[in-house]
Structure 1
Amino acid sequence: MSRVLRASAIMAAGTMVSRVTGFARSAVLVAALGSAHMGDAYTIANAIPFILFDFLLGGILSSVVVPSIVRRQQSDPDGGRAFEQRLMTIGAVVLVVLTAAAVLLARPLVELYTDAGWSTGKTEVAVMLARYVLPQIAFVGVGAIAGAILNTRDRFAAPMWAPVLNNVVMIGVLLLYLVTAGRSGSDVDAVSGADLALLGLGTTAGIVAQCLVLVIALHRAGFRFRPRFGLRDTGLGEMGRTAAWGLAYVCITQLGFWVTTKVASGAGDEVTGAGNTAYAQAFQLFQLPYGIIAVSVITAMLPRMSRSANAGDLGAIREEFASGVRLVSVLLVPAGLLLMVLGPAVTVLIYSWGNNDAENAIFIGNVLQVFGLALVPFSLFQLLLRVFYAFGDTRTPVFIGAGNTAVSITLSLLSAAVLPPRYVVMGLAGALTAAYTVGTAVAWVLASRRTRGLNGRVVAAGLSRMYSAALPGTLLALGVLWITRELADLTPLSSVVMLAAGGGLGLALYLVVAHRMRIPEVGSIVGMVTGRARR
């Protein structure tokens, strides 16, 4: 556990700074564009490059590339260097071709993900922005390949810190946009072409900076790029066949995202501020604790579990997984409960500025409250997938993902059919929560069969103790929320009080109670923090 904890701490520090600057970026973004029509147009346009990247490489990188590189590092006479060079070469070529095609197809891509009821001006703004931001695909992809190679060499810091530079660049671009565009910057019918160019090209510039950081870090780690195009006897064909299942998984999950986006687009067209931007910003905030805590543990776990799987050491895999679950849950359990209580306070503090108003910010917070229910099952699901990937099994996650997506799509369409437009996006968040809860249960059973057990009783007992320890802090936060709302309206100032008194004291109370209950992961975290503080 200590090795995972140390590696996770390094990554968590970078991820925390990245997420904090991401908070600032989101706040400035919504202040500049609002959470209504202009915000929705930008949200759709900027999502498309990442959707296309996921179709090509995203799922493959998370499921196939790291285990494949680890195997070649262990088996090839050159330590896998030629394999890594071919991977980077072929990946870069494919990414450039995809980027060029995507720019040419910007309009149909935007129309695919938007509602037919969008106005002409709103659609045109989204298309123009998409043409500016689609070149991100190539830079995101090259950076992701570089990050995967770094991870196999146990170099975790750069991939976690690189997004900070992207956020800093974007904050500067958005502030400049806010100053130059002013109130017209949130109006799809009044915004100028020059302002859209600033916004779109500035967004791409942030990704370019992030990619350069990763490429430089990879060079410092000893990687030397040499173009290699030969495919014979390289193992890339085998990886490609395995990756086909990863691609199928991405296609299935993207189908769910497409339905979510279409439904949210329609809701936002009927109720201003209750569409794609509200869902996207709430989801980003929901991902904050997951990104800081769970992603760090997952990234450190996968190379180790892959090595254990190659050695046939099922006991080590079980221990690694159980340790990861406990480390992830010890902070995600209270975080999820506090988000359910304090969601609107978070979003009013961040989003009720500039061209956005408090009512729209509160709605984002209501969506965030629903997402709070999903935090633990979502994170456990991601951990469980890495068990399959460590064995090189990308097939089983496809079937699990298909079940997840079926649940999500069914409940999303049901939300659109039966809920008033203002509550549809909250229904979408509820659909995601239900899908990952079911998916986690199914994935647990199947992964347990593969590893001959996952120490389920120990994990369940640990989670029960964590939820018991989190209950007093959650009730404290709820009491602070009630008192504050009785005394004042929900404003940025009252939000600060709620978050400091309710969130801060609630989390502190949880740590005290959990430490008294001798939950070992809390003791490890407290010991690490106090040890660093004494230095």
Structure 2
Amino acid sequence: MTGGLYRSSNAGHRDGPYDGTQAPPLIETDIVPDTDTMADAAEVPGAEPPSGGSMAGNSLIMAAGSLVSRATGFLRTVVLTAALGTVIGNAYTTAQIFPGLIYDFLLGGILSSVLLPLLVRRRKADADGGQAFTQTLLSLAVIMLACATAIAVVCAPLLTMSYAGGQSGEYQTLVTRLSYLMLPMIFFTGASALFSAVLNTRGHFAAPMWTPILNNIIVIVTGGAYLVLYGASKLDPEQMTPGRIALLGGGTLLGVAIQAAGLIPALRTVGFRWKWRFNFRDLGLRDLAKLGAWMFCYVVANQIGLAVVFNLLNRAAAASGKADDPTGPLMYNNVYLLLMMAHGIIAVSIITALMPRMSAAAADGRLHEIAEDLSLGMRTAAAALAPVAVVYGVLAGPITVVLFRHGAITDSDALATSFVLISAGIALIPFSLSQLFTFANYAMSENRTAALVNVPVVIIRIAIHVACFMLLEPEWVAVGLMAGNAASYLISAVISATVLRRRIGTIGMRDVITTLLKVLAASAGAILAGVLVTALLPGGDTPSLVEAILNLVVGGAAIGGTYLGLALALRIREITQLLDMVKRRISR
């Protein structure tokens, strides 16, 4: 139920999202519990630690790989943004989303919600450890991916028309040409995800978490090579030569292909051997279709929302009348990545820790415990994410300068992006709370409920987005779309809470509201401190890089210190518990 754009080409690990096309995980909902912080997840206040040394070891491997992948993934975003600028970057971002959306239609949600649990069951139940079943499943999937890739390449112009409407013919031609090179990513993304699933079911977690780094490195090198060969000047779409297009599209495709190939040695290590098997009836395709139907409904709704967001962003950029207008998909996407990083580092760890508890409680019919965990998760997520939201809002300008104002990105681009980041700060907590409720549905195997809640939320989001496009000036459309996301996340949380309350009873809203009011008071104090401190520092709206870094360091310290002090004074126990957790980790 997201409203962003970003999709990393890393299968099985996403550095960030795009407009809600990610399917509910483990049935990535919108975010797969990507284990960025699984080593810390066990220590979320009130959560039970994982049992057994192997779980701890696997968590550390996944956490280390995922954190490095996030870092390299973000670096690749910075390099590409600096190299391409806004116009070409918008076209590149639009073309890059096509492989992801088609992959999601084919495998995305079904893989995590249906196929992965089925692989686990067959590995335990079959005499051969599920080898024949897995080989048959992979054979069918490879054929489907190959056919889908071929069809998608042929239909590239139609995809461009759907997602880049309103842009010039030259812009759409560039998107299509990039798409011809990027759409084969469908095959390699699907293969990578399937290989990762096979490895995970066999207890091998290292390779799936580390091979995305190879992908990121290839794309970083591609962006660097583009800078060296062509420089960082802003270009119009018609100035993109075949060599530039081949480097960008081919380098991005090569990264995903190497990621998939990097998993093959690991498959051999765990004893899995490839063999074509065509007895597809043995897969129970009718039952698979029934299990995946609601997930497919979820994905379809999100894909419609994605098409609307891309279309509106591209139309806004075209309507501005500026060749280098920064309101298109690229910078909006970069901001969404920042939102997702905060969510992934903090909220995902909380959700990851609570999911096993809620699932076990649901299986035993202990619904009151699910309600208690939801209350705990809401309070902890809000208390932990609030200072990040304040930093995004107060220090949006310095953040966008430090991260994005390089190469072909100008002061005006960074300033426009900062307003989008302010909206993202507002969206952060509602998004994480909506995800927590969605995961609670999955814990109770309520895929149908999650899909039915998602449909009206997507409709509401689309209505808000269209209204923003119609009422706002083009340069403010991206800001309005992000604010619309925040509204839809809040609505999603309210609807989900209402539905869950009927199922599991009261979820301790009195405690939640009390904590939220204290968090709001501490946040208000942190905002005031941040504004006062940054007002005394040099830089203004367009600080230099050094001034922006100074604002970030000093302003961030003022915001964090003030929030922490007020949280302790107000006795926000979730913050106290988090501090105790940190102290225990340091002492160990």
- The alignment's TM-score, normalised by the length of structure 1, stands at 0.88
- Maintained 8 Å contact 1:129/1:200: yes
- Maintained 8 Å contact 2:411/2:542: no
Match of 2:153 among 92, 103, 122: 103
Distance in 2, matches of 1:222 and 1:70, equals: 16
Match of 1:192 among 241, 246, 253: 241
Task: Tell me if 1:58 matches 2:108.
Answer: yes
Percent of pairs with identical residues: 35
Match of 2:396 among 343, 354, 357: 343
Q: Which residue of 1 aligns with 2:76?
A: 25
Distance in 2, matches of 1:321 and 1:215, equals: 40
Distance in 1, matches of 2:571 and 2:276, equals: 54
- The alignment's TM-score, normalised by the length of structure 2, stands at 0.81
Q: Which residue of 1 aligns with 2:496?
A: 443
Distance 1:455-1:363 versus aligned 2 partners, 3 A rule = same
Q: Which residue of 2 aligns with 1:182?
A: 231
* CA deviation after TM superposition for structure 1 residue 423, in Å: 0.9
- Maintained 8 Å contact 2:387/2:523: yes
Distance in 2, matches of 1:325 and 1:64, equals: 28
Instruction: Please tell me the root mean square deviation across aligned C-alpha atoms, in Å.
Output: 3.2
Distance 1:163-1:346 versus aligned 2 partners, 3 A rule = farther
Task: Tell me if 1:133 matches 2:182.
Answer: yes
- Structure 1 window deviating more from structure 2 (451-460 vs 189-198): it is 451-460
Q: What are the equivalent positions in structure 2 for 1:8-407 lying under 5 Å apart?
A: 13-35=64-86, 37-69=87-119, 83-116=133-166, 118-148=167-197, 159-183=208-232, 186-214=235-263, 226-232=275-281, 234-271=283-320, 272-298=325-351, 302=355, 305-306=358-359, 309-314=362-367, 317-318=370-371, 321-407=374-460
The one-letter amino acid paired with 1:368 is L
- Structure 1 window deviating more from structure 2 (408-417 vs 79-88): it is 79-88
The one-letter amino acid paired with 1:107 is P
Distance in 1, matches of 2:119 and 2:262, equals: 21
Q: Which residue of 1 aligns with 2:7?
A: none
Aligned residues: 533
- Maintained 8 Å contact 2:85/2:232: no
1:200-228: CA deviations, max 9, x gaps?
Answer: 11111222233345555566566555544
Q: Which residue of 1 aligns with 2:49?
A: 3
Distance 1:365-1:245 versus aligned 2 partners, 3 A rule = same
Q: Which residue of 1 aligns with 2:6?
A: none
For residue 273 of structure 1, give the secondary structure of its aligned residue in structure 2: coil
Distance in 1, matches of 2:122 and 2:556, equals: 47
For residue 189 of structure 1, give the secondary structure of its aligned residue in structure 2: helix
The one-letter amino acid paired with 1:384 is F
For residue 3 of structure 1, give the secondary structure of its aligned residue in structure 2: coil
- Maintained 8 Å contact 2:397/2:541: no
- Maintained 8 Å contact 2:233/2:407: no
* CA deviation after TM superposition for structure 1 residue 104, in Å: 1.8
Distance in 2, matches of 1:154 and 1:524, equals: 32
* CA deviation after TM superposition for structure 1 residue 311, in Å: 4.9
* CA deviation after TM superposition for structure 1 residue 41, in Å: 0.9
Unaligned runs of 5+ in 1: none
1:153-204: CA deviations, max 9, x gaps?
Answer: 7766655544333222211110101111225674322222112111111111
The one-letter amino acid paired with 2:471 is V
- Maintained 8 Å contact 1:27/1:351: yes
Unaligned runs of 5+ in 2: 1-46
Larger helix share, 1 or 2: 1
- Maintained 8 Å contact 2:233/2:408: no
Distance 1:354-1:516 versus aligned 2 partners, 3 A rule = same
Q: Which residue of 2 aligns with 1:483?
A: 536
Distance in 2, matches of 1:419 and 1:39, equals: 23
- Maintained 8 Å contact 1:12/1:296: no
